[in-house]
Amino acid sequence: MGALDEGHFHEVLENGVELEPPQGIEGQPETLAIEDAVKVLLQGLGEDINREGIKKTPLRVAKALREGTKGYKQKVKDIVEGALFPEAGLDAAVGNAGGAGGLVVVRDLDLFSYCESCLLPFQFKCHVGYIPSGQRVVGLSKLSRVADVFAKRLQDPQRLANEVCSALHHWIKPAGIAVVLQCWHMHFPSLESFLMESNSQGWLKVLVRSGTGAFENDKGGSWSDFFSLLKFRGINIDNFLAEGSIASWCPSQSWSSLKGSSINGQLNSGMVTAVDSILRSLGEDPSREELVGTPVRFVKWLTNFQNTSFEMKLNGFVYGRGVDSLKANGEPGVNHKQEQLQTEVNLSFWSQCEHHLLPFYGVVHIGYFGFNPIPKSLLKSIVHFYGFKLQVQERLTRQIAETVSSLVGGDVMVVLEAGHTCMISRGIEKFGSSTATIAVLGRFSADPNARAMFLQSLPNSSTALGPS
């Protein structure tokens, strides 16, 4: 069984704590190989790899990827074995701690994994249940630790559920194991789809489950018991996809049907080879069926953030379309107070964190004083053009403000609210956190009331900032 074939694990893990401390990753041959590959990717995007903001990006990406796939080196046995506790059962004959239907369920464990199809992290909530047997129970935190062993690999949801389930069954030997995962994959749209004004953003959700023992044949109503406890969290059994039907849950499967990358017709073969090298350095086999197309998909996606072709498009687009007609209304001598506060809120954006090569996404709110509103389509174009490159949120906020300022003459305020993938898939793993940045120009800098007027108009919503 795949999940239990641990012959390739070459490091011992004691109680969920890796023997190889994180700082040991730096300088190892695998880490250096990934760093070299990331440099190739950055250069393929037209970036200067010695630029201050990204010169440490190869190391950051390498560490994140190795830490995010450390599950390949972890042993479930060592996590579980020290945490099995004797516990008398209600029914001595059956040996189940809570009687024949006595479930133990740990719910709402926030975890993340890496999608094997596109190499982006995906977030999931894990719910694990088991029916204790043999007069013993397992420490509750171990269910989370074991799930994390398989999450910290390149995965797809159903395999992940199956592997967690099989491993727990093998080591705990209960009367049954149930695993339910609610998974969210980011639906990262391409620049082209944004230009076509299609609404392809948001989150792809799948619900998968896996069961052993009493949950395999399900004659005794065990799944029904389990779902009754999960229903509090909004899970409905009708929402489960049949096993095997989610081969294409990752949106990269449709990216690969695009002709080449979104901007270039040609893929950079050096970049594809670099991703192949990354997979090898993580201990994966790039010829594994599910991974064969991954390097091409990852490069196609990454090419959305190519630096060069991009500025050109923005120049051609924004300045040819908006400036003159808007400026014509800004007649000299007209008192500012006759201008109105114009707002455009909740424009969605997607961007790529240049420190970690990971997406951040959310909404932009733009306020400015002017006689006429700027067309929403123009503001959207500005947001997307500056979003589709290697960025930091602070700079993106400023660039949008400066560009809008050039259209309306200086009184501009921009608020960005974003979820950052690197806040969950790096060391701090802060699920549910979000970041807001403000840029202010002209009247908004000097006048707190102007800022307050705009801020009070912002919607009280954060659904765009992450799956929840």
Q: Which one of residues 32, 49, 106, 323 is an interface residue with a copy of itself (CB under 8 A)? A: 106
Site residues for a copy of itself, 57-96, by CB under 8 A, read: 82, 85-91
Token match 């052993």: residue? 212
311 binds a copy of itself, rule: CB under 8 A: no
455 binds a copy of itself, rule: CB under 8 A: yes
Q: Answer whether 343's CB lies under 8 Å from 367's CB.
A: yes
Q: Which is nearer to a copy of itself, 32 or 263 (CB)?
A: 32
- CA 109 – CA 127 distance, rounded (Å): 7
> C-beta of 112: minimal distance to a copy of itself in Å?
13
Q: Which one of residues 204, 398, 406, 410 is an interface residue with a copy of itself (CB under 8 A)? A: 398
Pair type for strands 17-18 and 13-14: antiparallel
Q: Which one of residues 10, 23, 244, 332 is an interface residue with a copy of itself (CB under 8 A)? A: 23
Token match 């849950």: residue? 249
> C-beta of 432: minimal distance to a copy of itself in Å?
5
Q: Which is nearer to a copy of itself, 16 or 322 (CB)?
A: 16
Q: Which is nearer to a copy of itself, 137 or 272 (CB)?
A: 137
Cβ contacts of residue 242 below 8 Å, gap of 6+? none
Q: Which one of residues 198, 217, 228, 254 is an interface residue with a copy of itself (CB under 8 A)? A: 228
Q: Answer whether 453's CB lies under 8 Å from 341's CB.
A: yes
Site residues for a copy of itself, 195-214, by CB under 8 A, read: none
Cβ contacts of residue 463 below 8 Å, gap of 6+? none
- CA 74 – CA 307 distance, rounded (Å): 39
Cβ contacts of residue 122 below 8 Å, gap of 6+? 112, 113, 114, 115, 157, 183, 184, 185, 186
Q: Answer whether 330's CB lies under 8 Å from 183's CB.
A: no
Number of residues near a copy of itself (by CB under 8 A): 92
427 binds a copy of itself, rule: CB under 8 A: yes
> C-beta of 434: minimal distance to a copy of itself in Å?
5
387 binds a copy of itself, rule: CB under 8 A: no
260 binds a copy of itself, rule: CB under 8 A: no
Candidates 236-244, 283-291, 295-303, 450-458; binding stretch for a copy of itself (CB under 8 A) = 450-458
Q: Which one of residues 21, 29, 320, 332 is an interface residue with a copy of itself (CB under 8 A)? A: 21
Candidates 202-210, 249-257, 280-288, 441-449; binding stretch for a copy of itself (CB under 8 A) = 441-449
107 binds a copy of itself, rule: CB under 8 A: yes
- CA 361 – CA 259 distance, rounded (Å): 25
> C-beta of 104: minimal distance to a copy of itself in Å?
5
Candidates 18-26, 38-46, 294-302, 332-340; binding stretch for a copy of itself (CB under 8 A) = 18-26
CA distances, 141 to each of 15, 157, 280, 343 (Å): 11, 21, 32, 48
Q: Which is nearer to a copy of itself, 206 or 423 (CB)?
A: 423
Site residues for a copy of itself, 121-160, by CB under 8 A, read: 132, 137, 139-141, 144-145, 148
Largest CA distance in the chain: 93
Site residues for a copy of itself, 331-370, by CB under 8 A, read: 355
98 binds a copy of itself, rule: CB under 8 A: yes
- CA 322 – CA 404 distance, rounded (Å): 10
Q: Which one of residues 48, 108, 243, 324 is an interface residue with a copy of itself (CB under 8 A)? A: 108
- CA 214 – CA 131 distance, rounded (Å): 8
- CA 66 – CA 75 distance, rounded (Å): 16
Cβ contacts of residue 456 below 8 Å, gap of 6+? none
180 binds a copy of itself, rule: CB under 8 A: no
420 binds a copy of itself, rule: CB under 8 A: yes
DSSP string, 325-380: HHHTT--TT--GGGSEEEEEEEEEEEEEETTTTEEEEEEEEEEEEESSPPPHHHHH
Relative orientation angle of helices 29-44 and 57-68, to the nearest 10 degrees: 120
261 binds a copy of itself, rule: CB under 8 A: no
- Between the two ends of the chain, the Cα-to-Cα distance in Å is 33
Single-letter amino acid code for the residue at 168: L
406 binds a copy of itself, rule: CB under 8 A: no
> C-beta of 392: minimal distance to a copy of itself in Å?
7
> C-beta of 229: minimal distance to a copy of itself in Å?
5
Single-letter amino acid code for the residue at 272: V
Cβ contacts of residue 370 below 8 Å, gap of 6+? 326, 329, 330, 339, 340, 342, 408, 409, 411
> C-beta of 127: minimal distance to a copy of itself in Å?
9
Q: Which is nearer to a copy of itself, 218 or 290 (CB)?
A: 218
Q: Which one of residues 440, 443, 464, 467 is an interface residue with a copy of itself (CB under 8 A)? A: 440
